[in-house]
C-alpha cells in the first residue's frame, strides 16, 4: 500500500520498508511525523543547533512588559525568541488578557530539548502574576524529575527576583514538614 506524494524535500523520518516493489515515483513513507513536527527539522543548522526566529528583536515585542524585555536582553542575553517561544508566549498572554468566562484551554508543546520550552511558559506566567497586590501562592509548576525541577527553579528564580517575586523549590530534598514551612515562611515574608 503506497500513497503518492509530491516530494520536494529529502527529509525522511522512517523509510518505507513494507513496499519492496517501489516504482520510480517517490512514495510517501508510512511512518512519518506530522508536518507541524517535521517542519521543526528545518529549524536546525548543519551543526545541530536550533536556529532562532530573527523576525522581531525582543526589544520591539509589544506584548511583553518593558522590564521583562529588559531582563531577557540584559540579564539573560536573549535578543530573539526561539520559534516555540514566539508561538506560545503571545498566545498565553492573550488568553490571560481575554477575561472570558470560558476556562482557558490546555496546550501541548512538543519541541526538542534546548528549544526554549521553559521560558515559553515561565515568561507569560510571571508577566500575568507580577501585578497582583495580595501576595499568595500563585503558581505551582509540577515536574517529573528533581533535576528538571532544579533547572526550572533557577530560571524562574532568575527572572522572579528581578520582578520582586518570591520563589521556592520543593523537590523532596527535605522532609515534607520542612518544605511546608518553606512555603509558609515565603508567603508570610511576601
Query: How many angstroms separate the CA atoms of 107 and 173, rounded?
Result: 30
Measured distance CA(32)–CA(110) in Å, rounded: 15
Q: Which residue has the cell 526566529?
A: 53
The CATH classification number of 58-185 equals 3.40.50.300
Q: In the chain, which ranges are continuous DSSP H helix? A: 35-38, 66-70, 83-97, 117-129, 146-162, 176-188
| Distance in angstroms (rounded) separating the CA atoms of residues 116 and 98 | 25
What is the pLDDT, as a whole number, of residue 63? 92
Query: Do 30 and 18 touch, CB atoms closer than 8 A?
Result: yes
The predicted pLDDT at position 67 comes to: 93
Across 155-175, b (16+ Cβ under 10 Å) vs e yields: ebeebbebeebebebeeeeee
Residue 24: predicted pLDDT: 46
| Rounded Cα–Cα distance for residues 85 and 121 (Å) | 8
Please tell me the predicted confidence (pLDDT) of residue 33: 54
Cell of 37: 513536527
Supply the pLDDT for residue 18: 52
- Each domain of the chain, given as residue ranges in start order, spans 58-185
How much is the CA Rg of the chain, to the nearest whole Å?
22
Residues pairing with 4 in the sheet: 27
- Going from the first residue of the chain to its last (190 residues), give the mean pLDDT of each consecutive group of 10, the final group possibly shorter: 49 50 50 56 57 70 93 92 88 82 78 88 91 82 89 92 88 83 64
* Residue corresponding to grid cell 529588559: 70
pLDDT of residue 29: 46
Question: What pLDDT was estimated at residue 43?
Answer: 55
Angle between helices 83-97 and 117-129 (to 10 degrees): 20
Measured CA to CA, the distance from residue 166 to residue 159 in angstroms comes to 10
Amino acid at each position: 500500500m503506497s500513497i503518492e506524494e509530491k516530494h520536494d524535500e529529502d527529509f525522511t523520518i522512517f523509510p518505507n520498508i513494507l513496499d519492496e516493489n517501489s516504482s520510480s515515483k517517490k512514495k510517501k513513507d508510512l511512518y512519518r511525523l506530522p508536518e507541524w513536527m517535521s517542519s521543526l527539522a528545518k529549524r536546525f543548522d548543519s551543526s545541530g543547533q536550533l536556529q532562532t526566529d530573527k523576525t522581531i528583536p525582543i526589544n520591539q515585542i509589544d506584548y511583553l512588559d518593558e522590564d521583562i524585555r529588559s531582563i531577557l536582553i540584559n540579564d539573560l542575553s536573549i535578543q530573539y525568541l526561539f520559534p516555540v517561544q514566539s508561538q506560545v508566549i503571545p498566545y498565553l498572554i492573550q488568553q490571560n488578557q481575554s477575561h472570558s468566562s470560558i476556562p482557558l484551554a490546555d496546550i501541548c508543546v512538543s519541541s526538542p530539548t534546548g528549544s526554549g520550552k521553559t521560558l515559553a511558559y515561565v515568561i507569560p506566567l510571571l508577566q500575568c502574576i507580577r501585578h497582583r497586590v495580595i501576595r499568595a501562592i500563585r503558581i505551582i509548576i509540577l515536574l517529573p524529575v528533581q533535576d528538571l525541577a532544579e533547572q526550572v527553579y533557577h530560571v524562574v528564580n532568575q527572572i522572579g527576583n528581578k520582578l520582586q517575586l518570591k520563589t521556592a523549590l520543593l523537590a523532596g530534598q527535605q522532609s515534607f514538614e520542612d518544605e511546608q514551612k518553606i512555603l509558609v515562611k515565603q508567603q508570610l515574608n511576601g
